Structure formats: C-alpha cells, structure tokens
C-alpha cells in the first residue's frame, strides 16, 4: 500500500487504522472500478472525524485538491472548499467519479450541450453532508460551495481510472478546452 499512498503523506504522518483499511480495499483492485464498485467503496468507509485531518488543506484562492491515494486503477482525493469557491464547468472524460460530501453542503449544477456546442444549466441540487453522487465520464457539471461565508465544504472523490483527461466548458463560448494528459493541470481546475 505505501507505494500508492501519495509521497507527501507517506513521510508526513502515520495513517489511522480505519484509513489504512480503506486504502487496502483500493489496493485489491487490479482493473478500473465500475460505478457499483465506487458506490460500495464509499458506502463501506468507516472513517472517524480525524482520519482525514492530515489531508484537510484549504487555499483562499481556489478549492484545494489533496491526493490521498493513487494506483493505475484509481485515485482518492480530499477536496477542500472555502465559501464561494467552485470548480470550472467540466466532465471527467474517461474517468468515473464518486463524490461523498463529508462536511458542509455542496451544490452540483448539471449542464447539457446545445447542438451548436454551448452549455446550459439544466438543474442544480444540494448535496448535504453524507450524500454520495457518482458521475459518468461524460457528465458535465460544476461543484460549488454556496454556503455562507466561513462555512467550509469537504468532499471525498474516488476517480477510476485516475483523472488525467477532462473537458472544460464556458457559458460564453462553444470552445471546449482539453488540457493535456499531464497531472499538473488537474490541480488547476
């Protein structure tokens, strides 16, 4: 397991027994996870309030993506959002994503594309603490923390395969931005 835990986490602190057990579940997979396996992983989590504390890192500039685990088949991230922070409008092009709200309430806005390529919002819904949503690789959405100032949002994301491709959309243009396959851009969305 230690070779798949992110390098910073390996040397910085010991893992709680419950987090270590959860990561061993991910180690057992030798292929990409399907939607049901992502749901089962999230539903089986038995994490206490302090288990993910070392990964709870925020930024005042934009939401922060904190990697917990990485293998060829999946990636586990803790995302930390200050009030008013949001992702860009995007899909996961090739990766499934299971998102569990651990603290606060997220707002997910779902988009569709017109025949001429523009995106428009078709629904927004609130994901309360404990909620789980699983997105297909072509679902277009945006996650936001629309809670009052001072109320943080923390979400746990399991991607399979690891998120390396994505399409980014804008309300003002039909141009679709397709960042390269490197990992660096993933932390800028």
**Residue 1 in domain:** no
Segment 7-33 shows an average pLDDT of 82
Domain of 169 in residue numbering reads as 7-188
Angstrom distance (rounded) from CA 89 to CA 110:
9
For residue 183, pLDDT over 60 is answered with no
SS3 string of 109-150?
Answer: EEEEECCCCCEEEEEEEEECCCCEEEECCCCEEEEECCCCCC
- Tell whether the model's pLDDT for residue 21 goes beyond 60: yes
Non-local (6+) Cβ contacts of 148 within 8 A are 83
Confidence bin at 186 (pLDDT 50/70/90): low
- The token duo for 106 is 């997220």
In a domain, 122, yes or no: yes
Instruction: Evaluate if residue 13 carries a pLDDT over 80.
Output: no
In a domain, 150, yes or no: yes
What percentage of the chain exceeds 90 in pLDDT?
78
**pLDDT tens-place string over residues 40-50:** 999 999 998 89
Task: Give me 87's structure tokens.
Answer: 């992702």
Half-sphere exposure of 158 (CA within 13 A, CB side): 24
Residue 136 lies in a domain: yes
Query: In the chain, how many domains are there?
Result: 1
CATH number at residue 167: 2.60.120.10
Q: Is residue 37 part of a domain?
A: yes
Which has the higher per-residue pLDDT, 189 or 155?
155
Q: Global pTM? A: 0.89
């Amino acid at each position: 397991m230690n070779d798949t835990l992110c390098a910073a986490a390996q040397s910085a602190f010991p893992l709680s027994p419950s987090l270590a057990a959860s990561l061993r579940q991910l180690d057992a997979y030798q292929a990409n996870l399907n939607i049901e396996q992502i749901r089962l992983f999230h539903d089986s989590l038995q994490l206490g309030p302090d288990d993910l504390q070392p990964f709870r890192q925020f930024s005042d500039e934009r939401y922060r993506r904190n990697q917990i685990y990485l293998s060829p088949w999946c990636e586990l991230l803790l995302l930390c959002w200050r009030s008013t922070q949001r992702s860009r409008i995007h899909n996961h092009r090739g990766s499934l994503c299971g998102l569990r709200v651990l603290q606060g309430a997220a707002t997910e806005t779902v988009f569709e594309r017109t025949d001429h390529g523009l995106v428009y919002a078709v629904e927004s819904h609130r994901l309360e603490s404990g909620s789980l949503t699983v997105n297909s690789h072509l679902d277009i959405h945006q996650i936001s923390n629309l809670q009052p100032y001072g109320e943080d949002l923390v979400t746990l994301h399991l991607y399979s395969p690891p998120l390396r491709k994505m399409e980014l959309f804008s309300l003002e243009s039909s141009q679709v931005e397709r960042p390269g396959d490197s990992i660096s851009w993933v932390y800028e969305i």
